[in-house]
Chain A
Amino acid sequence: DAMVIQNPRYQVTQFGKPVTLSCSQTLNHNVMYWYQQKSSQAPKLLFHYYDKDFNNEADTPDNFQSRRPNTSFCFLDIRSPGLGDAAMYLCATRSQGANSGEPQHFGDGTRLSIL
């Protein structure tokens, strides 16, 4: 089945140690998103790609970076994780143009813990 796959499901890292989360999709969608979700809160958009065009949210810390080497893969890099970065990180994809009203498709998420 076509889907959005996030690896790993759980990630533990040390305070200040860089970490990379990955997302792949078999939907061939041109838009990919990264969200941060803390407990019992709505997802917070960090950035998104439209094809290779990167769009950063104004309040996304510089500590968060992203790469999209091709249509299928997208990575979230956290350069120096702090305790406040412990959260669920969600990847999502969407097809077609801005006016299509197409829904976003979410992966299972990666739960990041900081020691």
Chain B
Amino acid sequence: AQTVTQSQPEMSVQEAETVTLSCTYDTSESDYYLFWYKQPPSRQMILVIRQEAYKQQNATENRFSVNFQKAAKSFSLKISDSQLGDAAMYFCAYNGGSNYKLTFGKGTLLTVNP
């Protein structure tokens, strides 16, 4: 079975600084997708970024980028120029190519200090 591990229950960052959230996963599949989702307090969970396992290039979306290390099964999220609105719970998630389900990590609560 696939597992996703987020080893940092909580992180904090100063506004305008950079923070990296860690995620590791375990799978025997070769075709899969990885996601970071953001869930602000009492608000909707939204997709931040997606990575296809077959792509070596790291995905980027504006201030958000990932460091995908396939051999190490590591998928960290870097947030540059952190903003107050980035404060949220961040979930790393795995989707194997052969099914419709997401396997979530336990989440990292990010606080952004002004």
Tally of contacts, chain A with chain B, CB under 8 A: 48
A39-75 residues with Cβ-Cβ distance < 8 A to B are 40-43, 45, 48, 50
CB A14 to nearest CB in B, in angstroms, measures 24
Interface size for A (C-beta < 8 A) is 20
Interface bits B69-107 vs A (CB < 8 Å: 1, else 0)? 000000000000000000001010001011111101111
CB A97 to nearest CB in B, in angstroms, measures 9
Among B16-24, B43-51, B60-68, the stretch that binds chain A is B43-51
Residues on B with C-beta less than 8 A from A94 are 100
A108 and B99: CB pair below 8 A?
A: no
- Give chain A's interface residues, CB within 8 Å of chain B: 31, 40-43, 45, 48, 50, 90, 94, 98-99, 101, 103-109
- Give chain B's interface residues, CB within 8 Å of chain A: 31-33, 35, 37, 43-47, 50, 52, 89, 91, 95, 97-102, 104-107, 109
